[in-house]
Amino acid sequence: MFFSETDLSDFIEENDVKFIRMTFCDTFGNMKNIAIMPRELHRAITDGIPFNATGLLEASHQNLLLKPDTSTLSILPWRPQSGRVVRFFCKLYHMDGTPYEGDLRRNLRETMKSLQNQGYQCEMGTRCEFYLFETDEHGSPTRIPLDIGGYFDIPPLDKGENIRREICFAIEEMGLHPEHSHHESGHGQNEVCFRYTTALKSADNLNTFKSTVKAIAARNGLFASFMPKPLANQPGSGLHVNVSLLRDGKNLFDGAFTPDSEAGHFVAGILAHARELTAFCNPVPNSYARLGANEAPLYVSWSRQNRSQLVRLPSAHGEFCRVELRGPDPAGNPYLVIGLILAAGLDGIEHSLPLPEAVNRNLFHPSAAAGLDSLPRTLREAITVAGQSEFISRELPVALMNKYFEYQTQLCHDAEGAPDTESWERAHSFLII
């Protein structure tokens, strides 16, 4: 970690850094960046780098400022070792220096402060699945998966082994701690798991991971997609969010888990707001092709161990005890998704929300779900539910909500009116997410 401008300057000189990427996330979760030369670093730290805010929250061509979070410096290992490229995650400000209300990374920091003010800390980890596809003779992505392997397969059925190895080495160089990797159940589907950390760092790590996967895949003549359901006849890709809640250094999920405990109320809060969170955790029309199919949950319920539930408590001990939310997918903005999940859990504690009884049934059989609420079945329904939510309106700025729902509504309109659904999804999900 780097805290002073002197430290940064020394690092840049010693490592032959020639380009600095000022990276940020737009409202809808897409990674953006502006590259500056090292001589501009002092200006970036003290004054900020102005840029056009179109595509964020502003409808006008208003400028905003980017200032680097100096603790997030990382070398991009897939770039040349001579004339290296480094990256910072950035904070966003108005031109007068006041914080930009649409900076969702900042919003997540504020949620973390709310937890801390009430005596809690949290540790979070994400598990993100992705597909590897072949490219054609022009280098354009196809829908042909890299292999026909399945869950935990080995070569030759698994052709992604070397790619996952490169990914693990790269993210390790960038400060993540890969724990394991394997072929997932879909043809060409993979998963790399990395260690939990703070909420903000976890969101940063997820963005680092996604950009690294895409870069490594491209370097190997492949295309990586985090689209929720890229192949109709194969499993979708999920983003499983794991949360540990701590007080005075003690993991509140370790030991007896009771409905009237702080951990129980935390889970109750997530369940109570699950339908309202869906527009953010599953933000594109394609998201709803995944929910309810191939082990992706559809119903609002919890259990221990049961993977058909939206929320489960995995079998673990000590620091690894946690709650897992299995509904989100990789299309969401990590800062928005993680921040709202934490806010929902905190709301459950603040209002002592009752935890429903565990559902110990296999909900992948529709008849077993009788009496349970389901998540929204379409993006339009999810927008309606979120738009009517007092909880969401408390947590997000009005202008941001309006921009977000306006964009999603247009996605729905365009998708429903598209003469060729697959071509539309290719342009708006497959090539982007």
Q: What is the pLDDT of residue 58?
A: 54
299-314 pLDDT, tens per residue? 999 998 777 899 998 8
pLDDT digit of tens for each residue in the chain (433 aa)? 556 888 899 999 999 999 999 999 988 889 999 999 999 999 999 999 999 877 665 545 578 999 999 999 999 999 988 899 999 999 999 999 999 988 999 999 999 999 999 999 999 999 999 999 999 999 999 999 999 999 999 999 999 999 999 999 999 999 999 999 999 999 999 999 999 999 999 999 999 999 999 999 999 999 999 999 999 999 999 999 999 999 998 999 988 778 889 999 999 999 999 999 999 999 999 999 999 887 899 999 999 877 789 999 887 777 888 999 999 999 999 999 999 999 999 999 999 999 999 998 888 887 888 889 999 999 999 999 999 999 999 999 998 899 899 999 999 999 999 999 889 999 989 998 9
- CB 304, CB 199: distance < 8 Å: no
Q: Which residues of 271-304 are buried (b: 16+ CB within 10 A; e: fewer)?
A: bbbbbbbbbbbbbbbbbbbbbbeeebbbbbbbbe
Residue with tokens 């072949």: 134
CB neighbours (10 Å) of residue 48?
21
Reading the block at residue 53, the tokens are: 């805010």
pLDDT given for residue 55 in this prediction: 62
CB contact at 8 A, 128 and 237:
yes
Q: What is the pLDDT of residue 159?
A: 97
Q: What is the pLDDT of residues 63-112, one digit of tens each?
A: 899 999 999 999 999 998 889 999 999 999 999 999 998 899 999 999 99
247: which 2 tokens?
């007080």
- Using alpha carbons only, give the angle 248, 253, 258 rounded to the nearest 5 degrees: 115
Task: Copy the structure tokens of residue 41.
Answer: 């670093």
Q: How far is CA 196 from CA 126, 161, 392, in A?
A: 7, 23, 26
Please tell me whether residue 178 adopts helix, strand or coil conformation.
strand
Rg of the chain on CA atoms, in Å: 21
Contact 211, 31 (CB under 8 A): yes
- Give 231's contacts (C-beta < 8 A, 6+ positions apart): 131, 143, 145, 186, 187
CA–CA–CA angle 154, 159, 160 (5° rounding): 95
Burial bucket for residue 168 (CB in 10 Å: 0-12, 13-18, 19+): buried
- Domains along the chain with CATH numbers: 5-100 (3.10.20.70), 110-430 (3.30.590.10)
Instruction: With beta carbons less than 8 A apart as the criterion, state whether 283 and 367 touch.
Output: no
pTM score of the predicted model: 0.94
**Rounded to an integer, what distance in angstroms lies between the CA atom of residue 226 and that of residue 236?**
9
- Residue of 92, 72, 86, 70 lying closest to 7 (CA atoms): 70
Q: Which two tokens stand for residue 9?
A: 């300057």
3-state secondary structure (DSSP) of residue 240: strand
Question: Residue 83: exposed, middle, or buried by beta-carbon count in 10 A (0-12, 13-18, 19+)?
Answer: exposed
Cα–Cα distances in angstroms (integers) from residue 257 to residues 84, 172, 248, 311, in the given order: 49, 34, 18, 14
Q: How far apart are CA 196 and CA 74, in angstroms?
A: 18
Q: How many CB atoms lie within 10 A of CB 7?
A: 13
76 vs 23: CA distance, rounded Å: 12
User: What per-residue confidence (pLDDT) applies to 299?
Assistant: 94
| pLDDT at 5 (0 to 100) | 85
- Within 8 A by CB and 6+ apart from 318, the residues are 251, 254
